[in-house]
Amino acid sequence: MDKIISDTENLRKQIFKSAKTISDSKTKGLVEVWLSCYYVALADNFKDDEGIKRAIDYLKTSSTNNRLVRKNWLSKLNLIIKELKEKKYTKFKIRKNNSDTPKYILQNNLLKKIKRVDKKVYILGVELNQNWQIQNCWNSCGILMRIILERALDKKDNNIKNKSGLKNKINFCLGSSIFGKSVLEALKKLDNSTKITGDIVAHDSNILLSKNDIELAIIPFRVLLADIF
């Protein structure tokens, strides 16, 4: 509990020192890290408090803007800090990760690289990490990974983009020299050993994903995105 209060106060101090509209990479980086660490826990613990829930949702939604409004962020953070301190001696739960479970599907440095190239993939990546941290939304994770994968492949080469459907794009990649050996192995693993390249988004699909399905896909998924972005 002390850590979330301390980290939120440090974020407030950084924002207080910023201009009226915030666009510097250092502050926005701190915002991304803070949200990835605490958004899920805050939303869960304050789900019955409409005022603070709106404040938390505002911070999440506005974090993807090119510029953040300092006045609004300070007022929302002040409210959150006040409520956290009042709740300090009650039960505030922050879900702990299993030591063998990755904290994020996409690491912060990879997300920063993606953001410079494709803002939509970046936003989907942030939402993917948030769904992963909830630790129950496996199908949502898989659908987001599939969308990101297809968009990333299209970004790599126009010949891939011209192919219709994810399976056709993957088959084309495997038969071409567009990717190096390690990336091809990652793509093969995604296609052969995970379910995320299946037709999971169709309304008549029977595919359901588990935590294990997502975990199997994380490393090859990262390898592929790191090569493209």
Given this model, what pLDDT does residue 94 score?
55
How many angstroms separate the CA atoms of 100 and 107, rounded? 16
Q: What angle do CA 86, 92, 98 make, to 5 degrees?
A: 155
pLDDT at 200 over 80: no
Burial-class residue 18 by CB neighbours within 10 Å (0-12, 13-18, 19+).
middle
- Contacts of residue 180, Cβ cutoff 8 Å, sequence gap at least 6: 227
Q: What is the pLDDT of residue 175?
A: 94
* CA 187 – CA 160 distance, rounded (Å): 14
pLDDT of residue 18: 87
Indicate the average pLDDT of the chain.
86
Residue ranges of E strands in the chain: 21-22, 68-69
Residue 90, pLDDT > 60, answer no
| pLDDT band at 204; cut points 50, 70, 90 | low
For residue 88, pLDDT beyond 90: no
| pLDDT the model gives residue 150 | 95
Report the chain's terminal Cα–Cα distance, integer Å. Answer: 36
- Tens of pLDDT along 37-83? 788 788 878 888 888 889 988 998 888 788 899 999 999 999 999 98
On the question of pLDDT at 99 being above 50, the answer is: no
What is the pairing mode between strands 21-22 and 68-69? antiparallel
**Whether pLDDT at 92 is above 90:** no
Confidence of residue 101 (pLDDT cuts 50, 70, 90): low
131-136: Cβ within 8 A, 24+ apart: 132/104, 132/105, 132/214, 133/36, 133/40, 133/95, 133/103, 133/104, 134/40, 135/95, 135/211
Is residue 100 over pLDDT 70? no
- Are 148 and 124 in contact by the 8 Å Cβ rule? The answer is yes
Tokens at residue 31, please?
A: 């915002």
> Is residue 206 over pLDDT 60?
yes
What are the tens digits of pLDDT across the range 15-46?
Answer: 998 888 888 878 887 888 788 778 878 887 88
Mean pLDDT of 199-214: 78
Nearest to 221 by CA among 102, 72, 136: 102
Amino acid at 170: I
Residue 102 in tokens: 């990755």
Q: For residue 25, with 0-12 CB atoms within 10 Å meaning exposed, 13-18 middle and 19 or more buried, which class applies?
A: exposed
Per DSSP, 19 falls in state -
Q: What is the pTM of this model?
A: 0.58
Instruction: Please check the confidence at residue 181 and state whether its pLDDT lies above 60.
Output: yes
